[in-house]
Chains A and B, each alone.
Chain A
Amino acid sequence: MAAVDQAHLFTFLCRMGDNTLVLGHRVSEWCGHAPVLEEDIALANTALDLIGQTQMWLGLAAKVEGKDRTADDLAMLRDVWDFRNVLLVEQPNGDFGQTIMRQFLFDAWHLAMLTALTKSTNADVAAIAAKSVKEVQYHVERAGDTVIGLGDGTTESHQRMQKALDLLWPYVGEMFVPDPVDDAMAAAGIAPDLTDLRGDYDALVASVLAQATLKTPEGSFAHKGGKSGFQHSEHLGHLLTQMQWLQRAYPGASW
C-alpha cells in the first residue's frame, strides 16, 4: 500500500475535526435556550461530545502537519477559508426542529463514517473512531427519535419538520461526493469510499422519515464548497467571530 500524502491526510483529519467543531459550537448555542430543561442538558451533552471528538481529530491533524501547531491553534486561529467542514453543519440553528433535523442528517452520516473508520489502516484514526462511535450511536438514536416525535406530532410540528427537511436536504449530498483527498484516503485504506456509505445512510434516513410521516424532497442537487474550503456559506464567518473571539481579543489567554 502506497504511503499516503501527508497533506491529504492533514486535510482529511481537519474535515473530521472541523465537522465536529462547527456542529459542536452550533449545538452549544442552545445552552440555556432549549424548549425544555431535559433537552437543554441533552443538547449540551451532545455539544460536549462533539468538542471532545474535535480535540482528538485536530490534535492528530496538528501532529501529522508537524508545524508545531496544536488542536487549539487549528480551532481558534484559522479563518473561514481554512475550515474544511461540510456546509450542513454550519447552517444556522433555526428553530428547535431545524436543529434536530440538521443533527439527524449529520449523525446518520457520522455514524456510518465512524463505523467504517474503526477499521482504518491508520491506528490513530481507528482509535479515535472507536471512541467516538459509541457517542454517535446515541446521538443518532436520540435525534432520530425526536425527528419522529416532531414529524409525527402536531400539525405545526410536522410542518416545521418538513420545512427543515426541505431546507437542509440539498446539503446532504456534499457528505458523499469524493474528491482527490477522499480518493487518496480510500486508496490507502485510511477511510472508506464515501459512495459506499450512501446505501446504509439512505436506508436509515428513509426509515426514520417514513415513521416521521415526512416526505423526502425530490432531486439530487447538492450544495458544495464546504469540505473543499472553496465556498463556505456566509454563516461560518459569523460563527467564527463568536467562537474565536476570546483568542482573537486576548491572544494566548488560557485558564
Chain B
Amino acid sequence: MSSPNSAYPDTPEAQDKPKRQEWPLWEVFIRGQHGMSHRHVGSLHAADEEMAIKNARDVYTRRNEGVSIWVVEARHIAASSPSDKGPLYEPSESKVYRHPTFFDIPDEVGAM
C-alpha cells in the first residue's frame, strides 16, 4: 500500500516512483575581493550548472566573500592518486637547489 500523499491528499501518489537520483556533485571555486585567482571553497549538489552557480552563491558567498564563481562537475576533475605520492612528490624533497635561496639579492632591488 502506498503511503498517503500528505501535502496533496487529492493527488494520487505515483505508483512507479522513479528511483531517487542524487543531483551531481559540483566543485566550487570563488575569486575573492582581493585575489586574482579562484580558490576551491567546497562542493555542493545541483541539477545543472546554472543551479550550481546559484547554489554556490547562496552557500558560499553569504558573507560577501566573492566577486566571481566557477563551478565544475566533480567527475570532470582529474586528480592525482594518493598512492602515487611517493614517486610524484618525494623526488623533489632532496632537490633544495630548486628553491631560489642561493642568490645574493643586491640591495638596490629592495624588498622582494
Contacts and interface: CB of A to CB of B under 8 A. Distances in A.
A38 B23 CA distance: 11
Interface in A145-175: 145, 149, 154-156, 159-160, 163
* Chain B interface helix/strand/loop/mixed: loop
Interface in A26-78: 36-38, 41-42, 45
Contact of B51 (A94, A149, A155, A160): A149
Given A36-B23, A38-B58, A142-B54, A149 B47 contact: yes
Contacts of B11: 156, 159-160, 163
Given A38-B45, A149-B51, A45 B7 contact: no
A20 interface: no
**Which of A98, A155, A156, A159 has most B Cβ within 10 Å?**
A156
Interface in B1-39: 7-8, 10-11, 13-14, 17-18, 23
B72 interface: no
A5 interface: no
Given A36-B23, A94-B7, A160-B11, A41 B58 contact: yes
B50 interface: yes
Contacts of B57: 138
A94 B8 CA distance: 8
B63 to A, nearest CB: 11
A200 interface: no
Interface of A: 36-38, 41-42, 45, 94-95, 98, 138, 141-142, 145, 149, 154-156, 159-160, 163
